[in-house]
Amino acid sequence: MEKLIITCALTGAEVTQHQNPAVPYTVEQMAQSAWEACRAGASILHIHAREEDGTPSFRPERFAELMAAIRLRCPEAILQMTTGGAVGMTVEERLKPIALRPEMATLDCGTLNFGGDDIFVNTENTIKHIGGVLQSMRIFKELECFEKGHVDTVLRLVRQGFLQPPLHFSFVLGVQGGMTGEERDFRFLRESIPTDATYSVAGIGRYEFPLAEASIRAGGHVRVGLEDNLYLEKGILATSNADLVQKVVRMAQQYGREIASPAEARKILRME
């Protein structure tokens, strides 16, 4: 079976150190957490920026400082920048850090209710625009899909010529307003994409490790990290991002899946 690509989502935009003291905020905390995650087995680092107090940041200067620090500690890793930002950010704000030309970036493929009055807005024109910018800059796109309609949107935009292969999907499951994170949901999405597409699964909260195991068994790839889940197991907080990566590595060993290096991940995803 193909080697397993592990993505580590270091911090996100919503979780706080009040929820788990291990959530990194500062550039030094992020760089240290990235290094630990890579040493544990992560080949892709999913990057959001925070200000010193933990406020989500989309200042290009902050991203530049952060990416330089991570590259210094993890020179081989694939740095995957978010274009999702935080709820309420404009498309222009979300795209500003792309000027730094990361190797890889996310493309959110549909709108989602986040509870209350919070709406994560990704209109069809937004998807076309961000996707077009990434493709014109030769930045490899990860297609974040929170439910089946998002997958269908991607496939339609591919047929219409707005999005180009290779296609790498990220099934983000268990988010409020999206699909739940049961294994049936994962199987439904996995069976809905082209056979030559690659995919990773990100289970939110309690869904993280059951879905990681399902993807490992099925030959897919896995995303874990403190952005998505704060616990190593029920009632036990993770002490680092590396804790979460190491748990996936142990799962992979049980199923005979070797862990992909960053160079191997690039080949598997057809980034080169």
- CA 223/CA 229 separation, integer angstroms: 11
- CA 224/CA 11 separation, integer angstroms: 11
> Which token pair is 213?
């195991």
pLDDT tens, N- to C-terminus, the chain (272 residues): 899 999 999 998 889 999 999 999 999 999 999 999 999 999 999 999 999 999 998 888 999 999 999 999 999 999 999 998 777 788 888 898 888 999 999 999 999 998 788 889 999 999 999 999 999 999 999 999 999 999 999 999 999 999 999 999 999 999 988 999 999 999 999 999 999 999 999 999 999 999 999 999 999 999 999 999 999 999 999 999 999 999 999 999 999 999 999 999 999 999 97
> Which token pair is 16?
């706080």
Indicate the burial class of 121 (C-beta count within 10 angstroms; 0-12, 13-18, 19 or more). Answer: middle
* pTM for the predicted model, two decimal places: 0.96
pLDDT tens for 36-92 read 999 999 999 999 999 999 999 888 899 999 999 999 999 999 999 999 877 778 888
DSSP state of 100: G
**H-type helices in the chain, by residue range?**
27-40, 60-73, 91-95, 124-136, 148-159, 183-190, 208-218, 241-254, 262-268
What pLDDT score does 25 carry? 97
- CA 248/CA 79 separation, integer angstroms: 20
Helices 148-159 & 124-136, crossing angle to 10 degrees? 60
Q: CA 191, 147, 93: angle at the middle one, nearest 5?
A: 130
What pLDDT score does 236 carry? 97
What pLDDT score does 93 carry? 85
CB 100 within 8 A of CB 60: yes
Cα–Cα distance list, 145 to 12, 100, 160, 168 (Å) = 17, 25, 19, 11
Domains in the chain, start-ordered, CATH in brackets? 6-268 (3.20.20.70)
- CA 142/CA 82 separation, integer angstroms: 10
Residue 160, helix vs strand vs coil: coil
Cα–Cα distance list, 97 to 45, 90, 107, 256 (Å) = 16, 13, 14, 38
